[in-house]
Structure 1
Amino acid sequence: MRQLAPGRRLLVGLAGASAVLLGTLGAHALRNVLDAAHHELWHTAVEYHFWHALALVAAVACGQGKASRVAVWAFVVGIVLFSGSLYGLALGAPRWLGLVTPFGGVAFISGWIALGLSLRTRYQA
């Protein structure tokens, strides 16, 4: 059985744990602080954060190939830029922060493509 790089395992744990923490924060501590529109932004940020924390599990499990490494880092960058910008906007950050969000989306798309390539390479006959 091949060992997974400790740094990658740590990224998966941090991504999952931070998604749970931020989801809990939004559901409880910010429930009466955010208006409906900002709560919806927070919810979207958490949802994408969770899905891409799970995608990180797949990318890490695919191994040590280049496509897998690209997928891991693309998902991490996507979580930071996409979800991070939405968290900021929900908390009242300046509207220009919204300009960052699409770059996070592009990182997510890149990560999924890289993950697909990694799976293709791994399971190719």
Structure 2
Amino acid sequence: MRIWLFLGGLNGLLAVAAGAYGWHWLEVSNPVIRDTFLMGSDYQMWHALALLAVAWLASRQTAESGESGRQGSGAIAIRIAGLAFAIGIVLFSGSLYAIGLIGTIPDINAAPAGGVCLIIGWAALIWAAVVRA
């Protein structure tokens, strides 16, 4: 699916831009705050790569489903993984970016929910591998 390729590329681009901003322009008095911001960039990049893997798996799944267009639980797991990664990036990395930009943990910290989404994404990829075997 092209959406996963688009989201993977977009998140890779944003992760590089955020990393450059964090290293070169983010002015904070506490190095832990900068490290937190940069951790957001790292996680965003790793999960951008995961979205690219989802794009590849989705394209293979589509090719293998053939003329029937019938998709099994492996295809569903791949879609769940992509959605979970996309939501997880926004919540987890977004929260870490917010900490870096405002200098403190915000009242609404979505990082734990984002982390759970990222874990669900990886679990869904495992599910896709198991049901395909």
TM-score, normalised with respect to structure 2: 0.81
CA distance in 1, matches of 2:13, 2:95: 18
Aligned residues: 116
The Cα offsets for residues 71-111 of structure 1, whole Å up to 9 and x where unpaired, read as 0010010100000011001111662132x110000000000
CA distance in 2, matches of 1:95, 1:11: 26
Q: Secondary structure at the match of 2:108?
A: helix
Q: 2:40: which partner in 1?
A: 45
Shift of 1:7: 1.7
Is residue 73 of structure 1 aligned with residue 83 of structure 2?
A: yes
How many percent identity over aligned positions?
39
Amino acid at match of 1:91: L
Is residue 83 of structure 1 aligned with residue 112 of structure 2?
A: no
Unaligned 5+ runs, structure 1: none
Amino acid at match of 1:15: N
Q: 2:120: which partner in 1?
A: 110
Instruction: Indicate conservation of the 8 Å contact 2:8/2:50, yes or no.
Output: no
Amino acid at match of 1:75: F
Q: 1:62: which partner in 2?
A: 57
TM-score, normalised with respect to structure 1: 0.85
Shift of 1:117: 1.0
Q: RMSD over aligned Cα, in angstroms?
A: 1.5
Unaligned 5+ runs, structure 2: 62-74
- Larger radius of gyration between Structure 1 and Structure 2: 2
